[in-house]
Every structure is written in structure tokens, then in C-alpha cells.
């Protein structure tokens, strides 16, 4: 189910109001995961009145625009459910979710993005894997991911929902 998204703006008189209030149009159920694009801030396309919805309903991008940010809710299914991934499914997902060259072909799930990411575990449990090992996370934990090689592994038996704020940073290009 798409996440409810409330976005505010200022009218011509400078008074604040609600621009959007409802399910995000950026819901993507890819079968092996779900993601809800909440907002994309792109400095190359300024819209101070927030009248244009920056969420692309047809194609999501793992990385935010240069100098911008992206907010998304990502749902990781249990790893046991990932066994039905086929090459056809991978291609269908790639058609809707552009990961650029971040994902490693020979180590599924492992990737690196030139961003600083804040990951907030909303529900469930998940393991964060890096080169030096892994850490188990649960609801309420927060991760600061600083352009390092990593993978998310849901080894539990329930869905895990994580809110991600990805920020394009000149420190990590």
C-alpha cells in the first residue's frame, strides 16, 4: 500500500498550505521489494512553490540528483522470499528502478553510492553488511551510511520497512 505523503508549500501571499496530501504516486511494487518515493529535491529544477510533483511515477532512481536529495520508504521482504528472482524479474525491476552502476553483478545486493544516507528502521529487523562484517538492526535504529560498500539482508521472517534520506554530497563524489 502506498505511503501517505503530506507536502506543504507557500501560496502567492506567502501563506503556508498543503500542496499534496494522499498516497504517494511513486509507489513501486517490484515483486521482490517495494519502494515509495516520497520526495526528490533537484536543484536543477527549482520549484519553490512545490506545485510540480517531482516524484517520477514511471522510473525511480537509486541516487538523488547531483546536489539534491531523495526520501523513500523501502520494504525488504525476508531473504527466503528472494529465491524466486529470475533474470526476467531483474530486467523488469531495472526498467522501473534505475540503480546506475551502483549494484555489483557478482554479489547481489552489494552496492556503493556516492551519497550520505540516513536509514531509519521503521519496522522489522535487518542486517547491514559491509566489508568488515555486519550489524543487526531493529525498529528505532538509525544508520548513517557514508558512501561505503554495503548490502541490506533481511534474514528474518517478516517484512522490514526502512526510511531512507539520500543526500548528494560533494564529499562523496
* Number of domains comprising the chain: 1
For residue 99, the domain's CATH number is: 2.60.120.10
Query: Is the pLDDT assigned to residue 28 strictly greater than 80?
Result: yes
Q: What is the pLDDT of residue 169?
A: 86
Query: Residue 106, class by beta-carbon neighbours within 10 Å (0-12 exposed, 13-18 middle, 19+ buried)?
Result: exposed
| Residue 56 counted as domain residue | yes
| Residue 148 counted as domain residue | yes
| Residue 7 counted as domain residue | no
Grid cell locating 21 = 496530501
| Residue 5 counted as domain residue | no
Range of the domain at 128: 26-172
For residues 147 and 167, give the distance between their C-alpha atoms in angstroms, rounded to a whole number: 10
| Residue 10 counted as domain residue | no
| Residue 4 counted as domain residue | no
Q: What is the pLDDT of residue 164?
A: 97
Grid cell locating 107 = 554479489
| Residue 35 counted as domain residue | yes
pTM for the complete prediction? 0.89
| Residue 77 counted as domain residue | yes
Grid cell locating 57 = 511515477
Q: What is the pLDDT of residue 37?
A: 94
Amino acid at each position: 500500500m502506498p505511503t501517505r505523503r503530506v507536502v506543504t508549500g507557500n501560496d502567492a501571499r506567502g501563506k503556508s498550505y498543503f500542496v499534496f496530501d494522499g498516497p504517494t504516486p511513486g509507489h513501486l511494487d517490484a515483486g521482490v521489494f517495494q519502494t515509495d518515493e516520497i520526495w526528490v529535491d533537484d536543484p536543477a529544477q527549482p520549484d519553490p512553490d512545490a506545485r510540480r510533483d517531482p516524484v517520477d511515477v514511471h522510473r525511480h532512481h537509486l541516487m538523488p540528483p547531483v546536489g539534491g536529495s531523495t526520501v523513500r520508504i523501502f520494504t525488504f521482504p525476508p531473504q527466503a522470499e528472494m529465491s524466486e528472482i529470475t533474470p526476467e524479474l531483474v530486467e523488469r525491476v531495472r526498467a522501473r528502478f534505475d540503480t546506475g552502476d551502483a549494484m555489483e553483478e557478482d554479489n547481489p545486493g552489494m552496492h556503493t553510492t556516492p551519497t550520505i544516507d540516513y536509514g531509519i528502521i521503521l519496522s522489522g529487523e535487518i542486517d547491514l553488511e559491509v566489508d568488515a562484517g555486519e550489524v543487526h538492526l531493529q525498529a528505532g535504529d538509525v544508520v548513517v551510511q557514508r558512501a561505503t560498500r554495503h548490502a541490506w539482508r533481511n534474514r528474518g521472517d517478516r517484512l522490514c520497512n526502512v526510511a531512507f534520506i539520500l543526500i548528494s554530497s560533494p564529499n562523496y563524489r
